[in-house]
Amino acid sequence: MTADLQARSSSTKPRQPAPKTGVIASRSGRGASHFLKEAETRRKGVTDLLGDVIRTPSLSTGEQDVISRLEAAMKDLGYDEVTVDPVGSIIGRIGNGPVRILYDSHVDTVDVGSRGEWARDPFEPVIVPDAGGGVMHGRGTSDDKAGIASMIYGGALYKEYGFTEDVTLYVVGSVQEESCDGLALEQVLTNELAVPDLVVLGEATRCQVYRGNRGRIELLVSVQGSSCHASAPNRGHNPVYDLAPVISEVQALNGSLGTGEFLGPGSVALTKIECETPSLNAVPSTATIYLDRRLTEGETPEQALDEIRRLPSIQAVGAKVELLKYESTSFTGKKLSQEKRFNTWVTPEDHAGVTAGLEAGRIALDKELSTGHWVFSTNGVASMGKLGIPTIGFGPGDEIHAHTVHDQCPLDDLVAAMAWYAAFPAVFANAHLAQARPGGQR
């Protein structure tokens, strides 16, 4: 399955594009009712695609079957070109204009945890009735399979009804995000494509416009002890006890971290404890805790790491503090590695991407949208946080359901997101090109 996917490229016969001034036409009689009406006619198609990808498990490095399904969808919907990069991410292209926009949603998911917590099979999508068009449930629905399904259909809708010759639109289904945010998208941005003018992430935003998230580091704190028989613990040194004051100081630190004006407070959480011991009747030889430190505005990975190292309890026991490193082999056979440091990022509120996102809401949805930020981390840590490429987010569903047994997305969100994705490229191109003119005047 994997060999024929690696670095595969195909082209499809392009449909006849709409006029270059698609978004201007939409403002003169082809507005919200038009985009939503056309998106509504594709409700069954996007719902079926979402159901198919939910049925297909796709843990990080095991995304090949989902990539195949998405590849088929892009071809069927008339994308101009469809490729799979060496890491396994799928890239669909529409158009060939000077303004480059990249839509990205990751296609991998976390595992299901205890099956006993689930009210239903996590890999059998179920539509639960609600006051609207129903709510799809299943692993990965909100994070981020609803995003990629609506982006793929939204791109096709854009090609048919909102097309402008000013834009090259890429729709990317990236891999391995759940294990290492931004790593696969960075490979696309640095190795596969010319630098885009804007990245749009499909992570859940409740169909609002988001413009940042906190960065983070993952680290370990390890203490060396001296193992001995548990019948005489005084003959050795138990390192687990050394970590008790460290844990208390970490807990206290979480309540005293700084707060960013937009992203809110930083945080630190203990996520795992382990020790190495010869048996259950022996004193351990080493003990380790793992920490997740979230970084708000003004905090850097280096500062946060040094802050942990300077804790008095860490100094007292001579604990080792170090960043974790992610290493993987993609389903294509590509090996990747990266330290688990991820920069905080915020796109300015007056950036053309943000203002165009709000304008697309008025055009496509006849709504005044709000701006916000994610509590969790996204691929934006690479696109904006590391590479400095302006990045925003717009996606169906609510992040509160991510990684839970209540993983879900309203089907009405799929339709709304599809309409927004169709309207946005021409709106952004208009704003971006206007800014590039002398004086920045329209």
> What are the structural domain ranges in the chain?
9-213+344-440, 215-329
Please give the positions annotated as active site: 108, 177
What's the confidence (pLDDT) of residue 32? 52
Question: For 190, which DSSP code?
Answer: I
At residue 355, does pLDDT exceed 70?
yes
At residue 31, does pLDDT exceed 60?
no
What's the confidence (pLDDT) of residue 434? 87
Q: Using only the alpha carbons of the chain, give its radius of gyration.
A: 24
At residue 285, does pLDDT exceed 70?
yes
Q: What's the mean per-residue pLDDT of the chain?
A: 92
Contact between residue 221 and residue 320 where contact means Cβ atoms under 8 Å apart: yes
Q: Which of 303, 298, 272 is nearest to 287 (CA)?
A: 272
> pTM of the prediction?
0.91
Question: Top-level CATH class of 9-213+344-440?
Answer: alpha beta
What's the confidence (pLDDT) of residue 437? 74
pLDDT above 90: percentage of residues in the chain: 90
Beta strands 135-137 and 335-339 are unpaired
What's the confidence (pLDDT) of residue 77? 98
At residue 217, does pLDDT exceed 80?
yes
What residues form DSSP beta bridges with 281?
Answer: none
Tokens of 294: 């979230």
Question: Top-level CATH class of 215-329?
Answer: alpha beta
Compute, in degrees rounded to 10, the torsion defined by CA atoms 157, 158, 159, 161. Answer: 80
Q: Which of 373, 346, 369 is nearest to 356 (CA)?
A: 369
Across 277-374, where does the E strand assignment appear? Answer: 286-295, 320-323, 325-329, 335-339, 341-342, 345-346, 371-374
What's the confidence (pLDDT) of residue 436? 78
pLDDT digits (tens, 9 = 90+) for 181-206: 999 999 999 999 999 999 999 999 99
At residue 413, does pLDDT exceed 50?
yes
H/E run at residue 99? strand 99-106
